[in-house]
Structure 1
Amino acid sequence: MVALGNAEEASVSLPSLLPDLELLWAESYGDPNIRIAILDGPVDLRHACFEGARLRVLETVTPGRPGGGGATQHGTHIASLIFGQHGSPVPGIAPGCTGLILPVFTDRPNGSVGPCSQLDLARAVEQAVMEGAQIVVVSSGQLAAGGEPEEYLAKAIRLCAESGVLVIAAAGNDGCDCLHVPAAVRPVLAVGGMDAAGRPLESNNWGAAYRSHGVVAPGFEIPGAMAGGGIVRKSGSSPATAIVAGIAAVLLAIRMKMGSLADPYTVRSAILSNALPCDLPEGTACRQLLAGGINIPGSLAAIRAESPFGLSALASATDWESESTRQGERPVPNDQMQAESGPPTASLDSAHLPVAADALSTGVNPSECSCKGGASEGPPNRSLVYALGVVGYDFGSEARRDSFVQQGVSNPANPAEMLAHLSANPYAATGVKWTLMQQSTPIYSVVPSGPFAGQGYETLRAFLDAQIRGEAEQVSVPGHIMGSTKLMNGQTVPVLIPELRGMYSWSTAALVAAVAGPVPEEDADKAAYQQKAGEIGNFLTRIYHELRNLGVTPQDRAVNSAATNALQVSRVYQAALQAGLKLDSIQVERSPLCRPNSDCWDVKMGFFNPSKRLEQARHVYRFTVDVSDTIPVTVGQIRDWDIY
C-alpha cells in the first residue's frame, strides 16, 4: 500500500479512475433505506470522510475495536470507498446509503490480520440479513478446492438468496485457476480487479465458476481512507469488491427512485448481463476478466429500461450447485478464511505474496494487495437463539485446566471424571466454559445468569451426565446472545445466556417412544407402530443433521422448535401414514397472518406417495410457530392441502 501526502490527495480519486460514476451520481448518491453490510475489519469512524455518514457498528463474536493493525486499515479503506462523504478527502460511491459494520477480522499484536472461520463469517452473514441489509460485502475469501463452502456458510448464503439479499465477494488474489469461497457460490456476485487500462490484475483468480457470475472492476492502487487519518492506496480484489458494491447500491437506489421494487438481484443481473467482454487475445488474460468488466452505462441503461431480469435472475442465482459438485468433486476442508493478498509490487510488503495455486489458505482473509463521524455503535447483540446440539465443556486456558488437575482431577478432558468432580463440588461448575456443540464443533458458550444461575449449572451437569450414560443425544438451549468468549483452542464463540424453562435433553429413541406410545401387544398392530416410530425418527434425524443450524434466524428457530414439539409432529405423521405418504421436504416461510406483536413462521412438511409418484399429488401439512419470544410457541391448528 502507498500512503499519500496532501499534495497528491487532490490528484487521485474514484471519479478520476472511474469517470462513469458521474452518470450514477447525476441521479442518486444512494438511499438511506438501502442498508449495506460490511463484513471486514474494524473501521476507524473518526476519519474525516465518515463525518455525517449513516453508519452503525454491530457487535459480532469478533472484538471490533479499531486499532492500528492490518484489519482496521483494511476495514477502514473498504468502508470509505462506499460511505465516504462527498466534500471529504475520500468521496465514496454510495454515501447516501446506510452502513452496517460487522467486524469479522481482528488486529493481531504484530499488526497482521487475524482471519476468521467460515463459521464466524456465516454468523455475520445471518446477522446482516436479520438487521435488514440488502447488500452484504465480503472483501475476503478462502481458497477452496471445488469452491464449496462449509455447511454453515452455505446455509447463510442460501438464506441471503431466499431473502433477496445480494452477497458481493472478492474472487481472490492467488493468480491461479482456482476458486475462493464465498465468491465461488452461484448466488454471490464475484469481483476481481483490473488496472486503469482495463487489463485484469495478474493476481486475479479465474476459476471457471466466475465466468458465470463474476466481473472485474478497478482494483489497482485505489485511494481510500487510512486508519488514523489520511489517504492510502490499496490494490487487489478487496477494493474492487467495494467499488462494485457501491455501484450496485446506487443502481438499486435509482431503481427505487423509479418506483420499482428494491430487488438487488435485478441489479446483479444488470451488472452481469452488461459486463464488457474481453477484447484481449484469448488466453489467461481473458479468463482473468471473469464474465467481463464493470459497465456502468450499460447497467444503468438496463435499470432505466426496467429489463425483465427479476425473478428469473433470482432463480438462476439460487441454483448454486457448482460444476465440481455436479462432477462429483468434493472440497478440501479449510480451517479459516482470510482477506486476500495481491501480487507483489514496489508498494507491497512481503507478508502478502500470492500463494501457490494448490495451497489452501488458513482462513477467511481480506482481499487486498498489501497491500469521529456520523457513525454510531449499535446496542449489544442480544439476538434470540433456540439451538440444538450436545453439551460439552472447555477450560479457556491451560492454567484453568491445570487448576482442576491440582484439585485432584487426573484427566480433566475425560467427561466422566470431570463430571464426578463437579458433582462433588457443584461450585466448580462456574470454573469451566460450558459449550453447546454440533458435530464436535462448539457453537456457543452457555453461561447461566441471574438468580437461578445455580440451577442452570445443575441442568448442564445433568445434561452431560445423561449424555455420558447414553440417555441423551440432543439438548435444546433457548436464550439470547450477550458478548463472546475465547476457548482454549483460540476459537471465539458467542456467549449464550440460557432460558432455563426451555432447556431439555432427550434421546431420539426415547422421544419417539414417548410420542408414539407403548408398543402394541398385537402383532397386527406392531408393523404400523414401527412404521410410525420410524417416520418420526426420520423427521427428527433430518432436523438434527440435514437441517443443522445455529438457531439464530427466525426460520431456524421455528424448525428447531418443531423438533422439540414432537407431539404436534406426531399428529402430522399419524395422518400421513394413514394415507401411505412419506416425508419429502421441510420448508419454512413467513406466515401471511400473525397476531399483533408476534413473529409467525409456517413450518411446511411436504409428503409424497412413493408408490404413486406420478399419479398422486403431494400433500402439505402446515403449522405456525411464533418466534417473537425466547421460547417459540405454536399458534393455531394444523392445516393440510394437496399440491398438484
Structure 2
Amino acid sequence: MVRVAGADFQKEVLFALGGGDSQINIAVLDGPVDRTHDCFRGARLVPLDTAAAEGSDGRATAQGTHIASLIFGQPCSSVEGVAPLCRGLIAPIFSDDRLDCSQAELAQAITIALDHGAHIIQISGGLFGGPRQPTAELLDAVARCNADNALIVAGAGRDGCGSLLRRCGATNLLPVGAIDQHGRLIDGGDASLHEIGIAVPGANLIGAAPQGGIDSRRGANYAAALIAGIAGLLLGTQRQTGRTLDPGAAVEAMLSTATPRVAARAYECHRAWIGLANVEAAAVRLNDGMYDTATGTPFQLWHRAQTSAKWSDHAAFRPRA
C-alpha cells in the first residue's frame, strides 16, 4: 500500500533539486492561465498564440491555472510549484466556451511549443475530436518531437491522449496516472493500467484558481503536471553536470527508480513515485552518481558553485523557514 496522500507528496517534492533551471523549457498544453495570480509573480511564463489563447475564468481556465501553478508557482507565494525556476510556455488547447480540441489544434500547439524550444510538453486529458486514427498534422508534429528529442508527459485515463500519441510513434512519451493513498487509480479504471508509465499520489493537490483563489483538485492531469515539473528538474541536473540534455534518459531514470508495487487486485498500480527519495534517486542515476542531492551540486563542479554565473538562479531559490 502506498499510504501517501497527494498533498503530502506535493509538499515533500517542492524544494527538490534546487527548484529548476531557467534554461529548461516546459510547455503546458491545457486551458488558458490566469497569469495575474500572485503565485506567478516573477515566474518565467511565455504565453503562446494558439487557437484557444483567450480565457474568461471558466472551467478550462480554472484547470489551466491550477496545472500551471503546480509547476511554476513561485517560492513563498500562495501556491508553490515544483519547478519555479524553469521557463513556462503556455499553449492553451482548451477554451472556456469549447472544452474539446481537434487533432489539428493539438498538432499546432505542439509545433508552436517546439518552435519556442520546449524540452518537455505536458498535455492534459480532454476531448480530442476528429478521427480515431492520427491525422497527418499530428503525425508530423510528433515526428518533430522525436527529432527534437522532446519529452511528452500526458495525463493517463479515459480522456487521455497517450494512446493516440503512441499510435503517432512518439518515442519519448510518459503517460502519468494518479493514485490515492491505497495505490488505487483515481480515474481511468483498471483498463488503462497498461497505458500508464508511472503514477503519483494525485488527490488533494493544492493549486491556484482564477482571480487569486486557491483550491484542491485530483486526477491524472494534475499528477502529470507534477511529473512534468520534476522531469524539468532532472533535465536541469543534466545541464549542471555538463551533459547533453536527454529527456529519454530522464524517463528511463524515472521509471527505474519508481517504487515497485505488487498488485493484489487489478485496480492497484504497479509502479509509482511516492516521495522525495524517488526524485533524488532518479537524479543520481541520470547523472551516473555525479549529483549531490543533499546540496543540489554536481560533485565535479562543487568548487565553482558560488562563483559560476549559471548558479545564480539556484542561489536565489531558498525554501521558507
Q: Tell me the TM-score normalized by structure 2.
A: 0.78
Instruction: Give 1:265's match in structure 2, choosing from 209, 231, 248.
Output: 248
Instruction: Give 2:37's match in structure 1, choosing from 47, 52, 57.
Output: 47
**1:51-86 CA distance string (max 9 Å, x none):** 110101011123x22212111111101100000001
1:297 is matched with which residue? Answer: 277
Q: Summarize the alignment of residues 40-189 of structure 1 with structure 2, pairs less than 5 Å apart.
A: 40-62=30-52, 64-108=53-97, 113-141=98-126, 149-173=134-158, 180-182=163-165, 185=170, 187-189=172-174
Distance 1:224 1:162 in 2: 34
Aligned residues of 1:270 and 1:299 also touching (Cα < 8 A) = no
Q: Structure 1 regions of 5+ residues with no counterpart?
A: 1-12, 309-644
1:235 is matched with which residue? Answer: 218
Aligned residues of 2:61 and 2:210 also touching (Cα < 8 A) = yes
Distance 1:36 1:205 in 2: 30
Deviation at 1:258, TM superposition (A): 2.0
Higher relative contact order (CA 8 A, sep 6+): 2
Q: Summarize the alignment of residues 77-476 of structure 1 with structure 2, pairs less than 5 Å apart.
A: 77-108=66-97, 113-141=98-126, 149-173=134-158, 180-182=163-165, 185=170, 187-204=172-189, 206-207=191-192, 209-210=194-195, 214-281=197-264, 283-286=265-268, 289=269, 292-294=271-273, 296-306=276-286
Distance 1:232 1:40 in 2: 17
Counterpart code for 1:99: G
Distance 1:21 1:203 in 2: 25
Distance of aligned partners of 1:48 and 1:306 in 2 relative to their CA distance in 1, 3 Å threshold = closer
**1:25-58 CA distance string (max 9 Å, x none):** 3531000000111111110011111011010101
Distance 1:34 1:179 in 2: 23
**1:98-134 CA distance string (max 9 Å, x none):** 00111111111xxxx5311011100110111111010
Report the 3-state secondary structure (helix = DSSP H, G, I; strand = E; otherwise coil) of the residue aligned with 2:172: coil
Deviation at 1:15, TM superposition (A): 6.2
Distance of aligned partners of 1:14 and 1:268 in 2 relative to their CA distance in 1, 3 Å threshold = same
Counterpart code for 1:154: L
Matched, 1:32 2:22: yes
Report the 3-state secondary structure (helix = DSSP H, G, I; strand = E; otherwise coil) of the residue aligned with 1:191: strand
Aligned residues of 2:177 and 2:223 also touching (Cα < 8 A) = yes
Aligned residues of 1:171 and 1:183 also touching (Cα < 8 A) = no
Aligned residues of 2:28 and 2:122 also touching (Cα < 8 A) = yes
Distance of aligned partners of 1:121 and 1:135 in 2 relative to their CA distance in 1, 3 Å threshold = same
Counterpart code for 2:246: D
Aligned residues of 1:255 and 1:304 also touching (Cα < 8 A) = no
Instruction: Give 1:16's match in structure 2, choosing from 8, 12, 16.
Output: 8
Distance of aligned partners of 1:143 and 1:208 in 2 relative to their CA distance in 1, 3 Å threshold = farther
| Aligned Cα root-mean-square deviation (Å) | 2.8
Distance 1:21 1:137 in 2: 18
Aligned residues of 1:193 and 1:204 also touching (Cα < 8 A) = no
Distance 2:226 2:190 in 1: 18
Distance of aligned partners of 1:15 and 1:284 in 2 relative to their CA distance in 1, 3 Å threshold = closer
1:572 is matched with which residue? Answer: none
Report the 3-state secondary structure (helix = DSSP H, G, I; strand = E; otherwise coil) of the residue aligned with 2:250: helix
Number of residue-to-residue matches in the alignment:
280
Aligned residues of 1:55 and 1:100 also touching (Cα < 8 A) = yes
Distance of aligned partners of 1:143 and 1:274 in 2 relative to their CA distance in 1, 3 Å threshold = farther
- Identical residues among aligned pairs (%): 37
Aligned residues of 1:171 and 1:192 also touching (Cα < 8 A) = yes
Aligned residues of 1:86 and 1:95 also touching (Cα < 8 A) = yes
Distance 2:153 2:230 in 1: 11
Distance 1:179 1:89 in 2: 32
Counterpart code for 2:77: S
Q: Structure 2 regions of 5+ residues with no counterpart?
A: 289-321
